[in-house]
Structure 1
Amino acid sequence: MANIIAFVRDSLTNMVANLGTSRDKAAASFYSMPILADEDLLNAYRGAWLPRKIVDIPAFDSMRAWRDWQAKKPQIEAIEAEEKRLNLKGKLLETRIKARLWGGAAMVIGTGDQDLTQPLDAERVGKGGLKYLTVMTRRQLTAGEIDRDPASEWFGKPKLYQIRSAEGMQVDIHPSRLVIFNGNPPPDDEIVTTTYAGWGDSVLLSVVDAIKQADGTAANIASLVFEAKVNVIRIPDFMQNLGDERYRAKILERYTLAATAKGINGDLLLDKEEEYEQKQASFATLPEVLMSFLQIVSGAADIPATRLLGQSPAGMNATGESDLRNYYDRLQAMQTVEMTPAMARLDECIIRSALGSRDPDVYYEWAPLWGMSEKEKADVFKTKADAARQLVGTTPGQEIIPRDAVSDALVNTLVEDGSLPGLDAAIEEHGKLSEQEPSEEELAAAAAAQAANENQPARNKQAANDAAPRTLYVRRDVINRAEIVRWAKEQGFTDVVPDLHVTIAYSRTLVDWFEMGESWSPRLEIAAGGPRQMEGLGPDGKYKALLITASELVWRHRAMIEAGASWDWPEYQPHISIQIGGNIDLSKVEPYQGKIILGPEIFEELRED
């Protein structure tokens, strides 16, 4: 008989603590592909808030500001009308969401062509040539054979996509007729690890473990709430008598009665031999533990916690602003690198379908995702205006850049960034600076005045340039007063202020008026809409005022403060006082939403009234 030798290997395995086993809690030295079937993705998206937000938020944020077309005004209006007719924003948002959830989706560009297997020629699209945009997911679009020709535009991509109709017919579509988006693109097309070849992975695939850990932690904390306080009662000879059925019934009856009595009186009746103790769970560090797991989810999804969780950041001097800026910078890069190339053919078709031809000067830029505050807008406006003044100087004929060129460029800038709403309409009504050239007599008078000023003695020039300091009150009167009065009476105001105006400066400090500068325009038109609010101002709220916003007013106020003027209030809020006194309920007043036209700045000394 052969000898059998047995080897015993001591691996320090503990089946109770799971040490050294396949369930070792510390084991994390290998990676495996998470398996998420379509049903799992659907259930996660529809039944849990974290997966849904991770899918939806970047798709929505990348489109919420949309894009700004750069072209002539009629061209922009036609293109935007075409986008609205096709519901482009809605279809693109649907495509982006489904691509992130399922791993891939596409928009079919419908031009009415019969043979969809041929490449789409955008130059053949005429006015109204775009018929429809249809969104399909990778579940409906099957990728065909991969193009392996290195010289092909579609190298590494499917040559065709197939759609199977409800009747069982198969329709082939050339990829140029699709606006294709993937969730997470695969690192190598040769390695196919999904059922749907030619498409990417769901964005939930790489974050599902972090989501489950966060959800599991939250669920365990929720369960712990029910165990927050446990009453422990020690009964003599409890285990010894537990086998007696009558004893068990008496025990249940006894402590049911005790619990009822405690619930009514707050006291617990016990035998002298019994002992009572309360065990309470501590929740002191649980919020930090849960937040740590949610922070991991935030990092895995590449979405700031302030955006994902919808809460303000904690900690000293924490604002979350830098995180959001980085997030928006990433989205803008996504717009440039991913969305713009994917939509290139569609955009060419939209331009031709809207205009009938392709103007080479027409293009678009993605609108900034980070919005500036009113103070930041006012600072930018002031910087641009000061730079323009430096370029044109103060003396005609001695400009660094021709005044007309600076004026036209500045007008375009202010219209595009929205600094002066309604400026383009005002320019059309009143004309450009180049159309309001001074006459030869005015130029000659200006030159003579300059020569006379240069020949004055220094003390005379100082006397001419300096003015006696005085208190200062600056306002702009409302020109279209009748429209606002009509609105005010409809809202129940009975004693409307006769001189509707906006105050810009109220300086008790004596200042040189000529140091205050001047407004860019003697007429300011604030376009309809925008933030409007009714509020009671003053110590007792007796001034019933319409709060408005206008960068020009904020900039002029700041310019005067910087020049030495004082202001009695903590901040400056442009407003129009509608009525002084009265018992009108402002919460029931619908703020005036029409346009507001203001006249030139009027300088006065302060009056006690």
Structure 2
Amino acid sequence: MSNVIAFVRDSLTSLVSRMGTDRDKAATTFYAHTVMSDEQLIAAYSTAWLPRKIVDIPALDACRKWRDWQAKKPQIEAIEEEEKRLNVKGRILEAAKKGRLFGGAAVYIGTGDADPMQPLEVDRIGKGGIRYLNVMTRRQLSAGEIDRNPESEWYGQPSYYKLSGANGLQVDIHPSRLVRFTGAMPADDEITGNPWQGWGDSVLQATLDAIKNADSTAGNIASLVFEAKIDIIRIPDFMASLNNETYRAKILERYTLANMSKGINGTLLLDKEEEYETKTANLSGLTDILMAFMQIVSGAADIPVTRLLGQSPAGMNSTGTSDMKNYHDRIQSMQELEMQPAMRRLDKCLERSADVVDPDVYYQWAPLEQMSEKERSEIFKTTADAARQLVGTGTGQEIIPREAVSDALVNRLVEDGVLPGLDAAMEEYGKLSEQEPSEEELAAAAAANQNQPPANQRRAANDAALRTLYVSRKVINADEIVAWAKGRGFKTTLPAEDIHVTITFSRTPVDWMEMGSAWDDEVKIPRGGPRLMEKFGEARVLLFASNMLQWRHREMVELGASWDHPEYQPHITISYDPDAPDLSTVEAYQGEIILGPEIFTEVNEGCKSSGGLSEDFTL
């Protein structure tokens, strides 16, 4: 009895329901370690779509946006060119996929050394030192003895790998020459008895039961669809007459003809004594059952259903944003905690192979969720407006010195990785706090300040002189637009070098320096979208939409630039030809529009193109 009492105290037990006893039904459930063979893994990946997506999606998303190098522009170009030459992105993606499928894959760093068993000496790699990158799975690479020396860099990892060739030759490879991807982390090689010691587990190992259940459910539902509608006909003395072979033949012939007539004209001919009935299966709840199994697969694979199945989120007010955010956080963790450490030695070799030896060079993984052009412009405008509020109007009453705000903004942009190479550019050109105006600039600003109204005389001495402002961008691919116009019946057009887009035409003098700079030195208006051909006075113009240009124009107006029209509409003047074709018959240009950097000039009232642009007054 004392033993029974001790057992009751250890766990919740019911002798009536047998809960917690040896006769409890749950007592028969236990976990067993089963290892999928390579043939099973290959069959699952090759023939079923769920296993393939579970293997591919995280690896693909981790490499999709790749990474942004933070260095000087020539250094970035050299490293990225070396990445393209070696197809680093493609090799890492292939190894990540195969590592997830088999539980082990590696990228071999080929440097042409005589003995691959010797450690890879990164410092000895020169320009072009990496000759090739090859992907090998654990099927080709067998792990050697595990290093158990606690003082070793390779503790817990194989001290070497053995590559088996097709001709029977074997090559020993030092682990420093491999970028390893081990799939799912094994619990313990020594306890589990993993036949692939030194590697991990396939990600399909833990998800296979959920995948099988989902696939089986989908297959059973597909079978039920064929039996969703069954016709039942009752025939007098049917069973008693089946022994007659002639009767059986007549029955088959009879209802074959009946079904043919039903299929042709929808009429079923029956004898008066025969009874006809249709039974329909109710399949309404099967979708919910299947989706429940898919949810289990999604949880097992740690991939949102919206990404795994490629479907829109279901439910009222459901956007799937939080699910995707959590998933992106998980991919980012995978990049930073698994891929980046594994690629550390390869990255150092890559820099040296690109002839870049600089300890300050580093990279950041590009964000998976890219902002649209509108979101980028709005965030940048909000940040810029906040910075202006902090520094005030330049009267010496600013809340925070503008030099401090400038340094903080630069740090934020560098940390966000939105402007690769910004930190190196700041080192080259210096910070705002390091750029003091010369005596000549101060004298010129003071002289110009004397001629301004009293309200403007409070401006700081180092502000630029006020002047009228005309801002435009040249159309880089103007030749394509001219060719399009000629093909639509325009006999004459503006010269290609004069085709442009006006952003600001301010007769009111402003401080050019306060107008800031655009987000990009080149703007690409994608194909399609709203396009119209209109007549502005004598000008025939192409109207198009651009959030970037709208934002830039609005920013300048808010900073004091004038605009003589009720609204701003980006457009390109095509022609002043009085014999131009009827615009109602001309389909607007639908190709890409590429605009060059902003050009600042003073307003020239007498110029009709490439400067003053009198056609802009007819907006």
SS of 2:202's equivalent in the other structure is coil
Hey, what does 1:468 align to over in structure 2? none
Q: How far off is 1:335 after superposition?
A: 0.9
Hey, what does 2:162 align to over in structure 1? 162
Is 1:557 matched with 2:558? no
SS of 1:191's equivalent in the other structure is helix
Query: Within 1, Cα distance between the matches of 2:419 and 2:358?
Result: 28
Identify which range, 34-43 or 399-408, moves more after superposition.
Answer: 399-408
Q: How far off is 1:591 after superposition?
A: 2.6
Matches within 5 A, 1:347-362: 347-355=347-355, 358-362=357-361
Query: Within 2, Cα distance between the matches of 1:296 and 1:601?
Result: 66
Q: 1:433 to 1:67 in 2, by over 3 A?
A: same
Query: Within 2, Cα distance between the matches of 1:145 and 1:447?
Result: 79
Give yes or no for contact 2:533–2:543 (8 Å, CA) kept in 1.
no
Q: Deviations over 1:441-463 (max 9, x none)?
A: 5535756898999xx9xxx8699
Query: Within 1, Cα distance between the matches of 2:382 and 2:549?
Result: 12
Is 1:366 matched with 2:365? yes
Query: Within 1, Cα distance between the matches of 2:268 and 2:27?
Result: 49
Hey, what does 1:520 align to over in structure 2? 516
Q: How far off is 1:115 after superposition?
A: 2.4
Hey, what does 1:206 align to over in structure 2? 206
Give yes or no for contact 1:99–1:182 (8 Å, CA) kept in 2.
yes
Q: Return the TM-score normalized by structure 1.
A: 0.78
Query: Within 2, Cα distance between the matches of 1:519 and 1:497?
Result: 32
In structure 1, the gaps of 5 or more residues are 1-11, 13-20, 466-473, 507-511
Hey, what does 1:303 align to over in structure 2? 303
Is 1:315 matched with 2:323? no
Matches within 5 A, 1:195-344: 195-344=195-344
Identify which range, 299-308 or 137-146, moves more after superposition.
Answer: 299-308
Hey, what does 1:7 align to over in structure 2? none
Amino acid at match of 1:533: G
Q: How far off is 1:186 after superposition?
A: 0.1
Give yes or no for contact 1:524–1:599 (8 Å, CA) kept in 2.
no
Is 1:581 matched with 2:583? yes
Q: How far off is 1:432 after superposition?
A: 9.8
Give yes or no for contact 1:525–1:597 (8 Å, CA) kept in 2.
no
Give yes or no for contact 2:449–2:457 (8 Å, CA) kept in 1.
no
Q: How far off is 1:83 after superposition?
A: 1.3
Matches within 5 A, 1:17-32: 29-32=29-32
Q: How many equivalent pairs are there?
A: 561
Q: How far off is 1:215 after superposition?
A: 1.4
Q: How far off is 1:346 after superposition?
A: 0.9
Q: 1:311 to 1:132 in 2, by over 3 A?
A: same
Q: 1:489 to 1:418 in 2, by over 3 A?
A: farther
Q: Deviations over 1:456-496 (max 9, x none)?
A: 9xxx869999xxxxxxxx99544458x52553324634448
Give yes or no for contact 1:475–1:501 (8 Å, CA) kept in 2.
no
Q: How far off is 1:503 after superposition?
A: 7.0
Hey, what does 2:593 align to over in structure 1? 592
Identify which range, 264-273 or 227-236, moves more after superposition.
Answer: 264-273
Q: How far off is 1:556 after superposition?
A: 4.7
Q: How far off is 1:292 after superposition?
A: 2.0
Hey, what does 1:385 align to over in structure 2? 384
Q: Deviations over 1:111-152 (max 9, x none)?
A: 222222222221121222212211100000000111112222
Query: Within 2, Cα distance between the matches of 1:536 and 1:119?
Result: 61
Give yes or no for contact 2:130–2:350 (8 Å, CA) kept in 1.
yes
Hey, what does 2:57 align to over in structure 1? 57
In structure 2, the gaps of 5 or more residues are 1-16, 18-22, 460-468, 576-581, 604-611
Amino acid at match of 1:531: P
SS of 1:220's equivalent in the other structure is helix
Hey, what does 1:8 align to over in structure 2? none
Q: How far off is 1:84 after superposition?
A: 1.4
Identify which range, 438-447 or 362-371, moves more after superposition.
Answer: 438-447
Is 1:83 matched with 2:78? no
Q: Deviations over 1:540-593 (max 9, x none)?
A: 9x9974746564642553786999x9x999xx9956465882534458x53334
Hey, what does 1:488 align to over in structure 2? 482
Identify which range, 359-368 or 410-419, moves more after superposition.
Answer: 410-419
Q: Deviations over 1:300-330 (max 9, x none)?
A: 1111111111111111111111111111111
Query: Within 2, Cα distance between the matches of 1:110 and 1:448?
Result: 67
SS of 1:43's equivalent in the other structure is helix
Q: Deviations over 1:25-76 (max 9, x none)?
A: x998322334422111111111121111111111111011111111111111
Hey, what does 1:536 align to over in structure 2? 531
RMSD of aligned residue pairs (Cα, Å):
4.8
Q: How far off is 1:519 after superposition?
A: 3.1
Amino acid at match of 1:527: E
Give yes or no for contact 2:526–2:591 (8 Å, CA) kept in 1.
no
Query: Within 2, Cα distance between the matches of 1:89 and 1:267?
Result: 64
Query: Within 1, Cα distance between the matches of 2:394 and 2:237?
Result: 108
Q: How far off is 1:394 after superposition?
A: 3.4
Give yes or no for contact 2:99–2:182 (8 Å, CA) kept in 1.
yes
Amino acid at match of 1:332: Q
Hey, what does 2:181 align to over in structure 1? 181
Q: Return the TM-score normalized by structure 2.
A: 0.76
SS of 2:370's equivalent in the other structure is coil
Query: Within 2, Cα distance between the matches of 1:598 and 1:497?
Result: 22
Give yes or no for contact 1:480–1:597 (8 Å, CA) kept in 2.
no
Hey, what does 1:470 align to over in structure 2? none
Q: 1:140 to 1:79 in 2, by over 3 A?
A: same
Identify which range, 110-119 or 58-67, moves more after superposition.
Answer: 110-119
Q: 1:525 to 1:239 in 2, by over 3 A?
A: closer
Query: Within 2, Cα distance between the matches of 1:505 and 1:513?
Result: 12
Query: Within 2, Cα distance between the matches of 1:477 and 1:530?
Result: 15
Q: 1:332 to 1:486 in 2, by over 3 A?
A: closer
